[in-house]
Amino acid sequence: MLLLGAASALVDGINERVRAGGFTDLRPAHGFAFVRLAPDGATVVELAEHLGVTKQAASQMADELVRKGYVERRPHPSDARARLLTLTERGWACTRAADEAAIAVLQPWADALGPAQLSAVRTALSRLAVPGRIRPTW
Amino acid sequence: MLLLGAASALVDGINERVRAGGFTDLRPAHGFAFVRLAPDGATVVELAEHLGVTKQAASQMADELVRKGYVERRPHPSDARARLLTLTERGWACTRAADEAAIAVLQPWADALGPAQLSAVRTALSRLAVPGRIRPTW
DNA sequence: CAGATTGGTCAAGCTGCTTGACTAAATAGT
DNA sequence: ACTATTTAGTCAAGCAGCTTGACCAATCTG
Beta bridge partners of B87: B71
Answer whether B116 touches A (CB < 8 Å): no
For B3, the closest of A1, A10, A117 (CB atoms) is A10
For strand C, the positions having any atom within 7 A of a protein Cβ are 6-12, 16-20, 24-27
pLDDT score at A127: 79
Give the mean pLDDT per block of 10 residues along chain A (138 residues).
Answer: 90 94 94 96 96 96 96 95 96 96 90 82 78 49
Mean pLDDT of B58-87: 96
Answer whether B16 touches A (CB < 8 Å): no
The rounded distance, in Å, linking the Cα atoms of A12 and B75 is 37
Mean pLDDT of B122-129: 80
Q: What confidence category does residue B130 fall into, taking pLDDT thresholds of 50, 70 and 90?
A: low
Q: How many residues does chain B have?
A: 138
Answer whether A110 touches B (CB < 8 Å): no
CB atoms under 10 Å from CB of B130, counted, come to 13
Q: Is the pLDDT assigned to residue B138 strictly greater than 90? A: no
| Structural domain range at position B103 | 2-128
Asked if the structure places residue B18 within a domain, the reply is: yes
Minimum distance, in Å, between the CA of residue A73 and any CA atom of chain B: 25
For the ranges A16-20, A128-132, B100-104, B111-115, the lowest mean pLDDT is seen at: A128-132
pLDDT score at B87: 97
The rounded distance, in Å, linking the Cα atoms of A66 and A71 is 5
Q: Is the pLDDT assigned to residue B62 strictly greater than 70? A: yes
Look at chain A and report how many structural domains it folds into: 1
Q: Report the CATH number that the domain containing residue B119 is assigned in CATH.
A: 1.10.10.10
Q: How far is the CA of A89 from the C1' of C2 (A)?
A: 45
Name the closest nucleotide to B73, judged by C1' and CA.
D9
The rounded distance, in Å, linking the Cα atoms of A115 and A105 is 16
Q: Is the CB of B101 under 7 A from strand D?
A: no
B36: enclosing H helix or E strand: helix B28-37
Q: Is the pLDDT assigned to residue B137 strictly greater than 50? A: no
Asked if the structure places residue A63 within a domain, the reply is: yes
The rounded distance, in Å, linking the Cα atoms of A111 and A116 is 11
Residue A61 vs residue B127, higher pLDDT: A61
Identify all chain A residues contacting B2, using CB atoms and an 8 Å cutoff: 122, 125-126, 129
Answer whether A126 touches B (CB < 8 Å): yes
